[in-house]
């Protein structure tokens, strides 16, 4: 069984990283072992202090997926610029942003709108079971997340069993708009943040918030700062009290928060966002 020993100067918490809500396809055993599916891999992994023990993927795959090649200390130092974020960082020590599969991340956050995390997890599992390839691993059954063609080649109604609600046509139309996953991923990866953002927002069901999630979680655009209802609440209470706590977030308010965060936390404000989100109350 492959073992990876983390250097003492590289903070990492498997529980924080997999449990903070950035990914939806991992489950934790009571004994601390995590089971998940990434791409075509079923993976089992656990952490004992500085030691990671895993099966189902290579060392290189694990290092890249969990961003263990990122020197986290300078990133944390750069965002650690006020008492509130400081407390969040302390509470969630070892949290790293995962490098998520891009197409799966796009669909996941498209069907996450106006939903809670248990519901999102159920929807993604349903899409995978319906359209994805079966993976047998250690006596368990997983399903790979389907490529766009596996969805667009079906009738649109095939998605209805996944209970995506009004998001169903968004997923189907986006799958049709991206005939080749790899070509799309490579061309998007080549774009800078603002351009990639405009590109994503041209797809159905992808607005500012979903685009920022995809850019942060799948394209490593650390200057992205997704603003959901939780982040909005935190930013209003602790950073922008003048914004007013009125109901739905307008586009202008979104940009105010996003630009403030970019200025205040700096080029890795996306990391700050994830610590704030993970440390949220409720």
Binding site for DNA (CB under 7 A): 20-22, 109, 112-120, 122, 163-166, 170, 201, 203-211, 213, 226, 228-231, 248, 250-252, 273-274, 277
Strand partners, 79: none
Kindly tell me which of 72 and 211 has the beta carbon lying closer to DNA: 211
- What's the closest the beta carbon of residue 138 comes to DNA, in angstroms? 26
Kindly tell me which of 53 and 113 has the beta carbon lying closer to DNA: 113
- What's the closest the beta carbon of residue 209 comes to DNA, in angstroms? 4
Under a CB-based contact definition with an 8 Å cutoff, are residues 111 and 164 in contact?
yes
- What's the closest the beta carbon of residue 244 comes to DNA, in angstroms? 10
- What's the closest the beta carbon of residue 26 comes to DNA, in angstroms? 13
> Rg of the Cα trace of the chain?
19
- What's the closest the beta carbon of residue 250 comes to DNA, in angstroms? 4
The DSSP letter of residue 53 is E
Residue with tokens 């960082």: 89
Kindly tell me which of 76 and 269 has the beta carbon lying closer to DNA: 269
Handedness of CA 278, 15, 112, 106 (dihedral sign): positive
Kindly tell me which of 43 and 171 has the beta carbon lying closer to DNA: 171
Nearest to 37 by CA among 141, 139, 123: 141
Under a CB-based contact definition with an 8 Å cutoff, are residues 258 and 212 in contact?
yes
Under a CB-based contact definition with an 8 Å cutoff, are residues 40 and 133 in contact?
yes
Tally of CB atoms within 10 A around 190: 9
- What's the closest the beta carbon of residue 77 comes to DNA, in angstroms? 22
Cα 44 to chain centroid distance, Å, stands at 19
Kindly tell me which of 38 and 210 has the beta carbon lying closer to DNA: 210
Kindly tell me which of 76 and 227 has the beta carbon lying closer to DNA: 227
Strand partners, 26: 36
Helix (H, G, I), strand (E, B) or coil at 84: helix
């Amino acid at each position: 069984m492959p073992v990876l020993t983390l250097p003492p100067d590289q903070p990492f918490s498997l529980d924080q990283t997999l449990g903070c809500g950035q990914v939806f396809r991992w489950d934790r055993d009571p004994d601390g072992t995590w089971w998940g599916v990434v791409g075509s891999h079923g993976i089992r992994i656990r952490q004992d202090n500085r030691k990671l023990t895993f099966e189902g993927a290579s060392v290189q795959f694990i290092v890249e997926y969990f961003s263990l090649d990122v020197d986290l200390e300078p990133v944390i130092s750069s965002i650690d610029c006020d008492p509130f974020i400081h407390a969040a960082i302390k509470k969630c020590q070892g949290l790293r942003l995962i490098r998520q599969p891009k197409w799966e991340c796009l669909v996941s956050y498209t069907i996450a709108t106006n939903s809670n995390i248990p519901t999102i997890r159920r929807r993604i599992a349903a899409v995978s079971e319906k359209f994805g390839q079966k993976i047998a691993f250690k006596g368990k059954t997983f399903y790979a997340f389907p490529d766009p063609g596996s969805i667009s080649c079906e009738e649109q109604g095939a998605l209805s069993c996944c209970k995506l609600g009004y998001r169903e046509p968004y997923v189907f139309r986006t799958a049709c708009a991206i005939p080749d996953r790899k070509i799309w991923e490579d061309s998007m990866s080549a774009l800078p943040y603002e351009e990639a953002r405009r590109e994503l927002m041209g797809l159905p069901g992808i607005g500012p918030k979903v685009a920022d999630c995809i850019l942060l979680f799948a394209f490593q655009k650390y200057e992205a700062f997704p603003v959901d209802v939780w982040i909005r609440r935190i930013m209003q209470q602790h950073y922008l009290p003048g914004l007013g706590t009125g109901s739905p977030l307008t586009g202008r308010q979104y940009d105010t928060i996003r630009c403030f965060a970019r200025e205040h936390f700096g080029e890795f404000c996306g990391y700050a966002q994830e610590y704030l989100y993970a440390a949220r109350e409720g």
